[in-house]
Amino acid sequence: MKNLSVLAVLSLLALTLPLTIASDPSPLQDFCVGVNTPADGVFVNGKFCKDPKLATADDFFFSGLQNARPVANAVGSNVTAVNVNNLPGLNTLGISLVRIDYGVNGQNPPHTHPRATEILLVAEGTLLVGFVTSNGDGNRLFSKTLNVGDVFVFPEGLIHFQANIGKSPAVAFAALSSQNPGVVGIANTVFGSNPAIDPKVLVKAFQLDPKVVLDLQNKFKK
């Protein structure tokens, strides 16, 4: 009877294991419309693969992250991404990297990565960082002040930010769990969409005066 029970458990595992590991691949762009024939396709979920025999060390190499980037812009920061678009060896490996430079009072404003979790390491300066949970969790804010050597994780898809609260420029490096994580800036997406969202929708959503909404749309207009 004991052997029969073990056999039953093994049989159940054998039947259910394929279901637990079978899933759709993670998307590598915002959408991928299915087509009936390859002739109708114009893009794929990822990149076509180079013949492995033709690969070289340069396919897996990127140089320059030691260099500071200019931060003379509206938000006072600059993100340098190393992803599948400039490091082709990352294709299918599910990881990428960024360097973020922050001027004094600069910030990487609230945004999301729809396809990646992010882990951030402070290399220089002091940052205030945080993320906000989803509606079902009550939109709780998780925030910390980070100094050199400190690490913080931003869960996939959640709105998060970093702000330089020190008296000197700051630098951070972050790894993301996708070769092409994507980024959705909250302010410029909502108020700078193309075409623009009907101002009446934003007036009601944000409980703002119509003139304020129009001013914001003009400010973020692409």
Contacts of 64 (CB under 8 A, 6+ apart): 80
Residue with tokens 């729809």: 114
The C-alpha atoms of residue 158 and residue 168 are separated, in whole angstroms, by 28
Q: Consult the annotation and say whether 147 binds a ligand.
A: no
Amino acid at position 116, single letter: A
Q: Consult the annotation and say whether 156 binds a ligand.
A: no
Q: Consult the annotation and say whether 160 binds a ligand.
A: yes
Containing 11, the helix (H) or strand (E) segment is helix 2-21
Residues composing the chain: 222
Dihedral pair phi/psi, residue 30, rounded to 5°: -65, -35
The whole-angstrom distance between residue 52's C-alpha and the CA centroid of its chain comes to 29
Q: Consult the annotation and say whether 118 binds a ligand.
A: yes
Q: How many CB atoms lie within 10 A of CB 37?
A: 6
Containing 202, the helix (H) or strand (E) segment is helix 199-206
Half-sphere exposure of 199 (CA within 13 A, CB side): 12
Containing 176, the helix (H) or strand (E) segment is strand 170-176
Q: Where in 42-169 does DSSP place strands (E)? A: 77-82, 96-102, 107-112, 118-124, 127-132, 141-146, 151-154, 159-164
Annotated binding site: 108, 111, 113, 118, 160
Annotated binding site for oxalate: 108, 113, 118
Annotated binding site for Mn(2+): 111, 113, 118, 160
